[in-house]
Structure 1
Amino acid sequence: MLSVETRYAIDPATAKTLDTEGLRQHFHASGLFAEGEIRLVYSHYDRLIMGGAVPGTGSLTLDKVAEAGTASILDRREMGILNIGETGQVTVDGETHEVGRGDVLYIGMGKGPVTFSGPGRFYILSAPAHRACPTRLITVKDARRVELGAPETCNERVILQFLHPEVADTCQLVMGYTQFKPGSVWNTMPAHLHDRRMEAYLYFELGPEQRVFHFMGQPHETRHLVMANEEVVISPPWSIHCGAGTGAYTFCWAMAGDNVDFTDMDMVAMGDLR
């Protein structure tokens, strides 16, 4: 079963007029991981698609998505798949890949359809592409590992970069995830933005009562969304990116836009935040 929800892009002047429910309707997504289903969100920010596939005891095939306007979703797109569950299988272009927990499978343009099977919980990200790059399984040990932060600033963390120029060739999709050490909760501070690229965050490995406060908006007009486990934030290019949790957590970040330079960001001074 496939379901797709469309989210339209809005400008920052409109966003600042929204109440909590309005913000959540535009920028928050939940319930993406349902057994026996593929659930997608199609965002008009850089046409990024994000979603979940949970095969359970059967298999699920992702092929035609009407919102993409092509016969098969990957005809003009590339895809990154992160498994946040037990080891499962992803079959594409006649080859079956064993995707372990924390591994990322990159699929190049023109290689669909994609079939999911096994006990995995697959997080799907797809962006438009203009060239085909090799399909590749990137395991946790293959990822580029960057350690940042300190206990004193409550942001000691490990960034694992999977779809990154130093790890795997992609057209425009950049993807990885960040894990926090016990006692650390800030995913980035001072905040930053990058008007050249949108971003999406999947927050996961949160306990039932744990929450992450995701901050968004322009630096002088900040807002926040309260995020539970396995929920997604659509972060527009004009918005800051930062958040803090009630305990350690993991989040998957993905970007699409003008370039694949992970460090292309505009920092926001603490004194400029309102």
Structure 2
Amino acid sequence: MIQVRYSAAPSSVETARAAELRDNFLVDDLFRAGEVRGVYTHDDRMVVGGAVPQSEQLALPAWTEVLGVPSHLERRELGVINVGDPGHVLVDGEKFELGHLDGLYVGRGCEVAFAGPRAAFYFVSAAAATTHPTTRVGHSEVEPVPVGSARGASERHLFRYAWGSDLKTSELQFGVTVVADGSVWNTMPPHLHDRRTEVYLYVDLSADDRVFHLLGRPGATRHLVVADRQAVISPPWSVHSGAGTGSYAFVWAMAGENNDYTDLFPVAPADL
């Protein structure tokens, strides 16, 4: 099953009801046992999805009625991160074992399947003009970049899996940020990147915790209340920041005109 989300104007966020904000920007039902589910957003033509194989091996759907081609990756590249227990991904028959928060980049033209009784795979695909080799990225093998401070309640570690350096992609970027115990803020101070859409998937929250995610243009922000394994689509004109009621991490993924990670515009808290 795949949903389609259309682009929204920046001004629509300022006057939207809470239910409309959730309908347009929140992805809250990706992980269903025994299913592959997805959302296609017209913002930079990204697909975000979840696969929960349980006892069955699940193929990455073509979703031809939306993508217009007989194979999902005919004109796309894919990023996968396991947000559950260990499992594996088959790429053209080759097995890649993924533990919790391990990642995998899959190049254009491949066939993909997911397996693992307690695994939960999050994936993002984007249009690709070039083909690059499939590459596994172990979470423990990535050098974390410290960001923020305990004083600002924003201490966190940034794990860059595919970010325009080392691992080559056409335009897809993705990775994981882990917020330190005792801190609450992610991506604070916030920023904009007018040439890329970004999607956040919040993970490793307890059942009772939530993240208050800010979206919208600086000076006119609104918020969504987000639970574990729920995602937020952030258009290029929107800030993307949040504060949690407990410990959490998030998977970030971007696609757009380029894959220069530093192509962004900082926003001072005073301008929010």
TM-score band, normalised by the shorter chain?
over 0.9
Q: How does 1:10-159 map to 2 (within 5 A)?
A: 10-66=8-64, 67-112=66-111, 114-118=112-116, 119-159=118-158
The alignment partner of 2:151 has SS state of: helix
Residues in 2 aligned to 1:88 and 1:55: alpha-carbon distance in whole angstroms: 9
My pick for the range that moved more, 166-175 or 225-234, is: 166-175
Residues 190 and 268 of structure 1 are in contact (CA less than 8 Å); yes or no, is this contact kept in structure 2? Answer: yes
Residues in 2 aligned to 1:131 and 1:143: alpha-carbon distance in whole angstroms: 25
Give, in angstroms, the shift of residue 166 of structure 1.
Answer: 2.9
Residues in 2 aligned to 1:62 and 1:166: alpha-carbon distance in whole angstroms: 27
Deviations 1:23-74 (A, max 9, x none): 0000001121111000000000000100100000111111421211111000
In structure 1, what is the equivalent of residue 193 of structure 2? Answer: 194
In structure 2, what is the equivalent of residue 171 of structure 1? Answer: 170
In structure 1, what is the equivalent of residue 241 of structure 2? Answer: 242
In structure 2, what is the equivalent of residue 231 of structure 1? Answer: 230
Residues in 1 aligned to 2:194 and 2:144: alpha-carbon distance in whole angstroms: 26
Residues in 1 aligned to 2:143 and 2:78: alpha-carbon distance in whole angstroms: 19
Residues in 2 aligned to 1:44 and 1:218: alpha-carbon distance in whole angstroms: 19
Residues in 2 aligned to 1:136 and 1:191: alpha-carbon distance in whole angstroms: 30
Q: Please report the RMSD computed on the Cα atoms of aligned residues, expressed in angstroms.
A: 1.0
TM-score (norm 1): 0.96
Residues in 2 aligned to 1:172 and 1:141: alpha-carbon distance in whole angstroms: 24
Residues in 1 aligned to 2:190 and 2:156: alpha-carbon distance in whole angstroms: 16
Deviations 1:70-95 (A, max 9, x none): 11000000000000111111111121
The alignment partner of 2:270 has SS state of: helix
TM-score (norm 2): 0.97
Unaligned runs of 5+ in 1: none
The alignment partner of 2:8 has SS state of: coil
Q: Sequence identity, in percent? A: 46
Deviations 1:201-242 (A, max 9, x none): 000100111010000001021100000110000001000111
Residues in 2 aligned to 1:194 and 1:129: alpha-carbon distance in whole angstroms: 20
In structure 2, what is the equivalent of residue 206 of structure 1? Answer: 205
* 1:5 is the counterpart of 2:3: yes
Residues 9 and 45 of structure 1 are in contact (CA less than 8 Å); yes or no, is this contact kept in structure 2? Answer: yes
The alignment partner of 2:20 has SS state of: helix
Q: Which amino acid aligns with 1:266?
A: F
Residues in 2 aligned to 1:265 and 1:14: alpha-carbon distance in whole angstroms: 23
Residues in 1 aligned to 2:103 and 2:165: alpha-carbon distance in whole angstroms: 15
Residues 77 and 128 of structure 1 are in contact (CA less than 8 Å); yes or no, is this contact kept in structure 2? Answer: yes
Residues in 2 aligned to 1:27 and 1:63: alpha-carbon distance in whole angstroms: 23
Paired residues in the alignment total: 270
Residues in 1 aligned to 2:115 and 2:219: alpha-carbon distance in whole angstroms: 46
Unaligned runs of 5+ in 2: none
Give, in angstroms, the shift of residue 167 of structure 1.
Answer: 3.5
Residues in 2 aligned to 1:94 and 1:215: alpha-carbon distance in whole angstroms: 41
Give, in angstroms, the shift of residue 140 of structure 1.
Answer: 1.4
Residues in 2 aligned to 1:138 and 1:184: alpha-carbon distance in whole angstroms: 26
The alignment partner of 2:166 has SS state of: coil
In structure 2, what is the equivalent of residue 262 of structure 1? Answer: 261
Residues 143 and 167 of structure 1 are in contact (CA less than 8 Å); yes or no, is this contact kept in structure 2? Answer: no
Residues 148 and 188 of structure 2 are in contact (CA less than 8 Å); yes or no, is this contact kept in structure 1? Answer: no
Give, in angstroms, the shift of residue 14 of structure 1.
Answer: 2.2
Q: Which amino acid aligns with 2:100?
A: R
